[in-house]
A and B are shown apart, each in its own frame.
Chain A
């Protein structure tokens, strides 16, 4: 059974870089047809997709954050990571990592439990 767990600092200062890692168990990040994504949910708001990476390392980014975000795969540790630079208060959110069986039309399942990241001034 695939399980995902986010980790990273819960507090980041404004203008600095947010770094999160998602540890994957019950499956390999490099197995074909596996895609991995980051999504977020601002307090009291809806869901927003941030980025995805394929089992082979192909990356996809939402246009609104493309200049500040990067996603990467670490096959040796069976995990993938998110970096978001120059954060502001608007980046305060619960960040989720999730699995998908493809990029274009596939659902996200399962999701990690989520980690709250607060951007402070």
Chain B
């Protein structure tokens, strides 16, 4: 099972960043999203498609339907600059991670 993400997304501060994660019928799976800053471990920002762990700002939201899951970061801040990975569990491939998207804040 393959998850495809755009390599990079650029966004101006205060604007909205949209990161997609494409996979065959991904809408039938639970999708999780992680933020990874340089030299740091990944941090969970959205789980089960759209839920946020405690401490994660409401600016981070997720959706999942059809063949695409989406992580949306509203009112982007400089501190949101990081790599973002989607993750699902698939019965044939076990835990699968997306290729990662680098979010750059202009």
Residues of A within 8 A of B (CB): 37, 46-49, 52, 60, 62-63, 96, 103-114
The reply to whether B47 and A49 form a contact with Cβ atoms under 8 Å apart is: no
Report how many A-B pairs have Cβ atoms within 8 Å.
56
Shortest CB-to-CB span from A26 to chain B, Å, is 15
6 sampled A-B residue pairs with Cβ under 8 A: A46-B85, A46-B100, A60-B94, A105-B88, A108-B32, A113-B41
Shortest CB-to-CB span from B5 to chain A, Å, is 9
Assuming A46-B98, A108-B34, what are 20 further A-B pairs, CB within 8 angstroms?
A46-B85, A46-B97, A46-B100, A47-B42, A47-B97, A47-B100, A49-B94, A49-B95, A62-B94, A63-B94, A103-B89, A105-B29, A105-B48, A105-B88, A106-B89, A107-B47, A107-B87, A108-B42, A109-B44, A111-B43
List, in ascending order, chain A residues with CB within 8 A of B89's CB.
103-106
- The secondary-structure label for the interface of chain B is strand
Query: How far apart are the CA atoms of A106 and B42 in the complex, in Å?
Result: 15
The reply to whether B41 and A112 form a contact with Cβ atoms under 8 Å apart is: yes
Query: How far apart are the CA atoms of A107 and B86 in the complex, in Å?
Result: 10
Shortest CB-to-CB span from A89 to chain B, Å, is 22
List, in ascending order, chain B residues with CB within 8 A of A46's CB.
85, 97-100
Chain B residue with Cβ nearest A47:
B97
Shortest CB-to-CB span from A93 to chain B, Å, is 13
1/0 contact string of B11-31 vs chain A (CB within 8 Å): 000000000000000000110
Within 37-58 of B, Cβ neighbours of A (below 8 Å) are at 40-44, 47-48, 53
Shortest CB-to-CB span from B13 to chain A, Å, is 27
Query: How far apart are the CA atoms of A113 and B40 in the complex, in Å?
Result: 7
List, in ascending order, chain B residues with CB within 8 A of A62's CB.
94-95
Query: How far apart are the CA atoms of A104 and B95 in the complex, in Å?
Result: 8
The reply to whether B42 and A96 form a contact with Cβ atoms under 8 Å apart is: yes
Residue with the highest number of chain A CB atoms closer than 10 Å, among B87, B96, B98, B99: B87
